[in-house]
């Protein structure tokens, strides 16, 4: 599959403007022959919108999702976009929506590991999310999820070949992000892509450095701190190659708990 990451710096609170940018990115992705275009966490509202979440959270199947479906179908692209979602019971989640190239919703993942002030506004998701697609078996996680090896491991044990993670990670965490994404890929012998933000929102300075790591932990592509995009080909044959000598998922023994 050919993956395009868009490390955007969204207009804060301006969904219509960010949808216009998204259409330009779809055009770019289509011209690059990409199969899937992935955007950061809360990519259409901006991340630092906690105080205005009631206004920006999207009901399930709401107008943003409908527009994403149109764009996906128009440009023949899978889309992965982070957005705040309001559930039927009124609770908000920090979600990632995966849409196929016919505009159909394939999966919605709700962030499990909330970070810092997110606890005050979002309900944490419970489920992990792995989705079979014609591009391969895709696992989803979001930002702080990346920092827990258990998350990527659960996705890989669930069969994920490519793990995609929209993020809004901040300065000074760029090196930490690169280290953890590479380790998740190596430890699970799969592809892991982190789609981070650029730009600044009030006191938050996003650190960019979006990257794609391959099944031996190698960096297949990485951006700097500023806005930009990255197109990489993910060869699923690499998964078997990496597992030919040693296969961590097969070799792994259950680890006993130790009483502290």
Is 227 within 8 Å of 198 (Cβ atoms)? yes
Q: Check binding of 246 to its own copies (CB under 8 A).
A: yes
| Torsion angle in degrees (nearest 10) through CA of 87, 90, 91, 94 | 50
- Closest by Cα among 185, 159, 187 to 248: 187
Among 25, 38, 186, 194, binds its own copies (CB under 8 A): 186
Q: Identify the active-site residue in 26, 58, 111, 194.
A: 111
Give yes or no for residue 88 binding its own copies (CB under 8 A): no
Catalytic choice (41, 118, 161, 201): 41
- Using CB under 8 A, pick the residue from 187, 209, 223, 232 that binds its own copies: 187
Report the residue number, 134 or 253, with the smaller CB distance to its own copies: 253
Task: Tell which one of 68, 77, 84, 155 touches its own copies (CB under 8 A).
Answer: 155
For the bound state, the minimum distance from the C-beta of residue 235 to its own copies, rounded and expressed in Å, comes to: 19
Q: How far is the CB of 157 from its own copies (least distance, A)?
A: 7
Q: Is 114 exposed, middle or buried (0-12, 13-18, 19+ CB in 10 A)?
A: buried
Going residue by residue from 107 to 146, which x/- string records binding to its own copies, judged by CB under 8 A?
-----xx-xx-------x-xxx-x-------------x--
x/- string (CB under 8 A) for its own copies, residues 191-220?
-------------------------xx---
Give strand ranges (E) for 8-91: 36-38, 58-59, 78-86
Burial grade of 102 (CB within 10 A; 0-12, 13-18, 19 or more) = exposed
Stretch that binds its own copies, among 16-24, 73-81, 97-105, 180-188 (CB under 8 A): 180-188
Q: How far is CA 24 from CA 6, 30, 31, 79, 119, in A?
A: 11, 10, 11, 13, 34
**129 counts as catalytic:** no
147 is catalytic: no
Contacts of 37 (CB under 8 A, 6+ apart): 4, 6, 25, 26, 29, 77, 78, 79, 80
Q: Establish whether the linkage from the previous residue to 172 is cis, with ω within 30° of 0.
A: yes
Rule CB under 8 A: choose which of 61, 63, 149, 224 binds its own copies. Answer: 149
- How far apart are the C-alpha atoms of 96 and 164, rounded to whole Å? 10
Q: Is 41 a catalytic residue?
A: yes
Tell me the sheet residues that pair with 93. 85
Q: Please work out the total of residues on this chain that contact its own copies, with binding judged by CB under 8 A.
A: 42
Catalytic residue numbers, as ranges: 41, 111, 143
Contact residues for its own copies, defined by CB under 8 A: 112-113, 115-116, 124, 126-128, 130, 144, 147-151, 153-155, 157-159, 175-176, 179-180, 182-183, 186-187, 216-217, 246, 248, 251-253, 255-260
């Amino acid at each position: 599959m050919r993956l395009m990451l868009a490390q955007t710096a969204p207009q804060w609170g301006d969904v219509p403007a960010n949808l216009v940018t998204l259409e330009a990115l779809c055009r770019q992705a289509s011209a690059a022959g990409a199969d899937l275009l992935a955007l950061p966490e809360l990519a259409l509202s901006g991340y630092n919108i906690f105080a205005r979440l009631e206004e920006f959270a999207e009901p399930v199947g709401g107008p943003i999702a409908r527009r994403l479906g149109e764009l996906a179908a128009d440009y023949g692209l899978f889309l992965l976009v982070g957005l705040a979602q309001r559930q039927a019971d009124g609770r908000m989640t920090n979600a990632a929506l995966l849409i196929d190239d016919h505009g159909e919703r394939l999966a919605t993942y709700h962030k499990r590991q909330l970070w810092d002030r997110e606890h005050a506004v979002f309900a944490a998701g419970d489920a992990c999310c792995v989705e079979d697609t014609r591009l391969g078996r895709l696992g989803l996680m979001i930002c702080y999820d990346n920092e827990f090896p258990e998350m990527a491991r659960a996705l890989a044990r669930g069969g994920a070949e490519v793990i995609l993670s929209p993020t809004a990670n901040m300065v000074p965490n760029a090196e930490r992000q690169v280290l953890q994404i590479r380790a998740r890929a190596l430890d699970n012998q799969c592809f892991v892509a982190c789609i981070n933000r650029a730009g600044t929102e009030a006191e938050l300075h996003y650190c960019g450095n979006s990257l794609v790591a391959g099944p031996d932990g190698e960096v297949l592509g990485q951006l700097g701190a500023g806005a930009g995009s990255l197109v990489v080909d993910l060869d699923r044959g690499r998964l078997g190659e990496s597992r030919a000598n040693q296969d961590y998922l097969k070799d792994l023994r259950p680890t006993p708990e130790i009483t502290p």
